[in-house]
Amino acid sequence: MNPPLRAPGHVCAKHTGQAASGTRVTVNDIDPTLQLRTALEAAFARDSGDAPWAVAVSGGVDSAMLAVLASHAAGNRPLYLFHVHHGLFGQADLWAEQVEQLGQALKLPVRVAHTVVDTTAGQGTEAAARQARYAALEKLAGELGVTTILLAHHLGDQAETVLLRLLRGTGPTGLAAMAAETRRNGIRYVRPWLEADRALIIDAARRYGDATGWRAATDPSNADPRYTRAAVRTLLAPSLDTRWPGWRAILARHARLTAQASVLLDEVARADFAKLDPSEDASSFSLAAWRELDAVHQAHVLRHWFDRNGLRMPTEARLEALVRQLRQLHQLGHDRQMLFDHAQARVRCVQGRVLLEPRPAGRSGGAGRRSPATR
């Protein structure tokens, strides 16, 4: 039986209120795992099927606690622990072993996928690792019939994502940051803790460790400012914590509001794209129809096109360069010199159709395919 995570003397939520000293007492003061457990239980309740789920577990605090609490919340639903072995750090074998041990303690099956991170596509180690991780998770899911994978992103991760995308100038769609639920290649990814403060997860881990002797794996890259996200944590976050203690919640709220606005922008983009005589797989569209749009809609529908084909957004300068090339093409839309490489894809125009095709191997074309972070 798994060790309980509730605080001794668990008190029902209806008894929260003023402590004897007059200090406001919250539910989380009495049962620190309540918000975490409730969010997980709600996620499982939204799926009425019986297909197995999995938890993506790195071995760190966040994903390990997600596994621990999910093992209780899953009920009778089959649950796996998925671990991706990147081989990027010397501790990789140890992390895989720790996840195996956690699975044994929770009586959950563990599947470890070994993958190679391709850093030659011009997208950086972090993005390449995310891409490899998602590909590995999806392969495991396909083999085992898993339909949903739980990810341990929390409020702090969401705030960091918003900040990073602000600094990259990604625009409204990017500032919506991570969604609580997304689909990718037929797999549903659920982030039940996006609104949870990491302090709750840390406290749950401490309690679980005290009860079982478990200790989390430590990834040195999380504190290495050479990595972009770690730079935010180590260099920017301390100053923000001092001047704006609530910055994480503020940025997460910004992401929620932007996501709502993005729904309307997506509707406009879909409507515009439908006017372009798109191919069934959305890999090509009519150049002449695209030219009928005004300048703002031309750029916006190209972003939508890249997104539908699983590509990261190009920078503003790169997008402007593509727009300029498409506007300058011969009216018949056939120009052998029109080549626009973008990560694994190449944009060409043939017989009046703007199309995406695989980029020849060995060429780098800027930002890579989208690969949201897991934790």
More reliable by pLDDT, 206 or 5: 206
Which comes out higher in pLDDT, residue 54 or 218? 54
Q: What does the domain layout of the chain look like in residue ranges?
A: 13-252, 275-358
* Lowest mean pLDDT segment, chosen from 28-32, 134-138, 314-318: 28-32
The overall longest dimension of the chain from CA atoms, in Å, is 80
- pLDDT score, position 344: 81
Q: Where do the H-state alpha helices sit in the chain?
A: 27-30, 34-45, 61-73, 92-106, 124-144, 155-168, 171-175, 198-212, 228-231, 237-243, 247-274, 287-291, 295-308, 316-328
Could you say which architecture CATH assigns to the domain 13-252? 3-Layer(aba) Sandwich (3.40)
- Closest by CA to 189, choosing from 35, 41, 45, 55, is 55
Q: Pick one of 3.60.20.10, 3.30.465.60, 3.90.870.30, 3.40.50.920 as the CATH number of 275-358.
A: 3.30.465.60
Write the pLDDT tens digit of every residue in 215-237. Answer: 888 877 777 788 888 888 999 99
C-beta neighbour count of 72 within 10 angstroms? 15
Higher-confidence residue of 2 and 76: namely: 76
The reported pLDDT for the residue numbered 119 is 67
What would the pLDDT profile of 322-361 be if each residue is shown by its tens digit?
Answer: 999 999 887 655 555 688 998 789 999 988 899 999 988 7
What is the structure's pLDDT at 329? 84
Segment 238-248 shows an average pLDDT of 94
- For residue 10, pLDDT over 60 is answered with no
Distant-in-sequence, close-in-space partners of 110: CB < 8 Å, separation ≥ 6: 80, 81, 82, 83, 99, 100, 102, 103, 104
Q: Does residue 254 have a pLDDT over 80?
A: yes
Rounded average pLDDT over 66-76: 96
Model pLDDT, residue 27:
44
Share of the chain above pLDDT 90, in %: 59
Q: Which residues make Cβ contacts (< 8 Å) with residue 62, sequence separation at least 6?
A: 152, 153, 154, 193, 198, 201, 375
Q: What is the pTM of this model?
A: 0.75
Say yes or no to pLDDT of 163 above 60.
Answer: yes
Q: Name, of 11-15, 66-70, 167-171, 340-344, the range with top average pLDDT.
A: 66-70
Question: Are the folds of 13-252 and 275-358 the same?
Answer: no
* 12-46 residue pLDDT tens: 333 334 444 445 544 455 577 899 999 999 999 99
Tokens linked to 143: 């083999």
pLDDT band for position 373 (50/70/90)? Answer: very low
